[in-house]
Amino acid sequence: MTRVAAVQMASGPNISANLAEAERLIAKAAAAGARLVVLPENFALMCMHEMDKVKVRETDGKGQIQDFLARTSARYGIWLVGGTVPLAADDANKVRAACLLFDDKGQRVARYDKVHLFDVHLEESNEDYAESKTIEPGNGVVVVDTPFGRLGLAVCYDLRFPELFRRMVQENVEIIVIPSAFTAITGRAHWEPLLRARAIENLSYVIASAQGGYHANGRETHGDSMIVDPWGVVMDRLPRGSGFVMAEIERSRLQAIRRNFPALEHRRLPCTLP
């Protein structure tokens, strides 16, 4: 069994303050026995204006946020998922929303760039989001070996696109991490059912780390970070506020579920329409 944790924050526009809060929570999770810790999307910066993240974007492999992730993972001897980090894009006016995985020696072992960008209008609250104006999408699926199992990386809005996770299954995924910053409105409606669906249909553990609370830019995020097992059972959750959720994942349990309920082996794609 491996103890894993998902951190929940309400990040603001001050990078140093956000990193200090992230380390405080990482330290508590590590002290409680977590070997894998997942930070939420935008953990280091929830900007006042969307172009702010472009101003502080980092080159790949170098910068304050990436140095923090490397140093912190090594300091606490944990594998650490750095929610999203604004990295340089081909377009000088955009960033890549990069989800980075570091091992317990502080070495980066994987990078996933958010594929699906949140361009929506929410009538209920009159909120407009246009991530594509400042974020350049990725185009790859990332699943890597870890001591805990085959781990796949996804970010927030990706959660709504099951075909991405089916591609992970082709790469033998066993644990899916989903750093997020769901809005309060969409989170209340869809967050839990989507997380449980991704766990159930892919017979995988899901570790969902979320922003949760009110932010200096006026935004409200849903929170409710949770860890879900391959049968769709919510093992731990944090509805609101800063903190973390923790659970023990068992690779043997996952393998037993897949063996006794081999739905992944039963997949068939019809060749023609009826």
* Three-state secondary-structure class, residue 149: strand
Kindly state whether residue 90 falls inside one of the protein's structural domains.
Answer: yes
- What is the percentage of the chain residues whose pLDDT exceeds 90? 91
Q: How far is CA 34 from the centre of its chain?
A: 17
Q: In degrees rounded to 5, what are phi and psi of residue 86? A: -75, 105
Predicted pLDDT at 84: 98
Write down the residue that tokens 């594929």 correspond to: 115
Residues annotated as part of the active site: 41, 114, 156
Kindly state whether residue 270 falls inside one of the protein's structural domains.
Answer: no
CATH number of the domain that residue 146 is part of: 3.60.110.10
Kindly state whether residue 106 falls inside one of the protein's structural domains.
Answer: yes
Kindly state whether residue 268 falls inside one of the protein's structural domains.
Answer: no
What's the pLDDT tens digit per position in 214-249?
999 989 999 999 999 999 999 999 999 999 999 999
Kindly state whether residue 267 falls inside one of the protein's structural domains.
Answer: no
CB 44 within 8 A of CB 35: no
Kindly state whether residue 271 falls inside one of the protein's structural domains.
Answer: no
Q: Name the stretches of the chain with pLDDT < 70.
A: 271-274
* Three-state secondary-structure class, residue 209: coil
**Could you say which DSSP state residue 40 is in?**
P
Kindly state whether residue 273 falls inside one of the protein's structural domains.
Answer: no
Predicted pLDDT at 127: 75
pTM of the model: 0.96
Kindly state whether residue 111 falls inside one of the protein's structural domains.
Answer: yes
Predicted pLDDT at 273: 60
Alpha-carbon distance 197 to 160, whole Å?
10
Task: Give the total number of structural domains in the chain.
Answer: 1
What's the pLDDT tens digit per position in 153-186?
999 999 999 999 999 999 999 999 999 999 999 9
Domain encompassing residue 61: 2-262
Predicted pLDDT at 123: 76
Alpha-carbon distance 103 to 148, whole Å?
12
| Max Cα–Cα distance, the chain, nearest Å | 58
